[in-house]
Amino acid sequence: METEVKLTKLAQCAGCGAKVGAGTLAKLLDGIPTRSDERLLVGFDKSDDASVYKIDENTALVQTLDFFPPIVDDPEMFGEIAAVNAISDIYAMGADPKLALNIMCVTKDMPKESIQAILRGGYKKAYEAGVIITGGHTIHDQEPKYGLSVSGFVHPQKFLTNSGARPGDILILTKPLGVGILTTSAKAEFIDQKVMDKIYDQMRQLNKYARDIMVKYEVHSCTDVTGFGLLGHGYEMAQGSDVTIHFMTEEIPYHKEALSMADLGMIPEGAYRNRKYASEGVSKTKKINRALEDILYDPQTSGGLMIAVSENDAKNLLEDLQNTIPCAKIIGYIEEKEEKSIILE
């Protein structure tokens, strides 16, 4: 779809690269009073992907919210990616999404056709996820933005968090890295369209299918890898679980084009924020290419699930995932707490 004004030119940051850094966010939330409720199983104090509230013995409500500026110029595709990204947090909790509300910012001169296309893209992916969009809220802004507030359900004893990883667990990642670097490069017109078509397809892939498979196995922890990058989200998982994560860097999937772009310095600002936040908890057992490190800190938009699964179930889960998601790979393992939260080897 052609638009008179490229959406990405209207935004200073793209996709999850616009996310406030994890370190800054922690400072902003520090000292904010919280209220306790015996039914609130997960709140914002847990740095998790969504909140969880127990309704009864068999049902818990899972809620999340996510929106961002355009990461692509095609408005319908932007709507699809933003919706998939927002719904992903529900899947990361092991839950089933059901209801959503639109969150939208439009510029005063934004064409009606573009606004409708964004909403159409969101509805399309919500429908695929089995989610009903029941309304929303729209305001004027200097930049267009779109996303969803999503509600889902899970058994109160079966939800997953990013702080449940156990020593001996194996880590599986379901989507390759490098999205932030490549979308930054595309904005500067450094990347071939065929490469970007592959990236756009990946960002539009729901984590529903990974979630539906993983809940059959003994999974202890899960998070989706988005704005804080692999090492930012890994750092949160390691700290929350009081363990150390060993990442096998040669096994981590990434788009090879991102490596060459990182060598050229096409690094989104969010990657530097993620490095500043997480690097103090990272050590290396060998020399690692700087460009590869940049990919590990790269903010992902609509990234994959990082799953901590029991060692006994890891092989079967991986095989099951790869039947539907061929790019899924084992990328590391969990050990007892060491001096550093993350070890790159």
pLDDT tens digit sequence for 100-111: 999 999 999 999
Domains defined along the chain, listed by start? 7-154 (3.30.1330.10), 170-344 (3.90.650.10)
Average pLDDT of the chain is 92
How confident is the model over 110-120, as a mean pLDDT?
A: 96
User: What's the half-sphere exposure (Cβ side, CA atoms, 13 Å) at 133?
Assistant: 25
Residue 194: how many other CB atoms lie within 10 Å:
7
How confident is the model over 290-312, as a mean pLDDT?
A: 97
In the structure, what pLDDT confidence band is assigned to residue 24 with cuts at 50, 70 and 90? Answer: low
Give per-residue pLDDT as tens, 153-201.
999 999 999 999 999 999 999 999 999 999 999 988 899 999 999 999 9
Q: What is the pLDDT of residue 3?
A: 44
Q: What is the pLDDT of residue 30?
A: 65
In the structure, what pLDDT confidence band is assigned to residue 210 with cuts at 50, 70 and 90? Answer: very high
Asked if residue 20 has pLDDT above 60, the reply is no
Kindly tell me the burial class for residue 9, based on how many C-beta atoms sit within 10 Å of its own C-beta (0-12, 13-18, 19 or more). exposed
Q: Which residues are annotated as a binding site for ATP?
A: 19, 46-48, 66, 89, 136-138
Enzyme catalytic residues: 16
Q: Which of 26-35, 63-72, 90-99 has the lowest mean pLDDT?
A: 26-35
Asked if residue 21 has pLDDT above 70, the reply is no
Q: What is the pLDDT of residue 8?
A: 67
How confident is the model over 130-145, as a mean pLDDT?
A: 96
Q: Which residues are annotated as a binding site for Mg(2+)?
A: 49, 89, 224
In the structure, what pLDDT confidence band is assigned to residue 2 with cuts at 50, 70 and 90? Answer: very low
Give per-residue pLDDT as tens, 313-343.
999 999 999 999 999 999 999 999 999 999 9
How confident is the model over 79-106, as a mean pLDDT?
A: 97
How confident is the model over 241-245, as a mean pLDDT?
A: 97
Q: What is the pLDDT of residue 9?
A: 60
pTM (2 d.p.)? 0.90
Asked if residue 86 has pLDDT above 80, the reply is yes
Q: What is the pLDDT of residue 6?
A: 66
Asked if residue 10 has pLDDT above 60, the reply is no
In the structure, what pLDDT confidence band is assigned to residue 271 with cuts at 50, 70 and 90? Answer: very high
Q: What is the pLDDT of residue 1?
A: 37
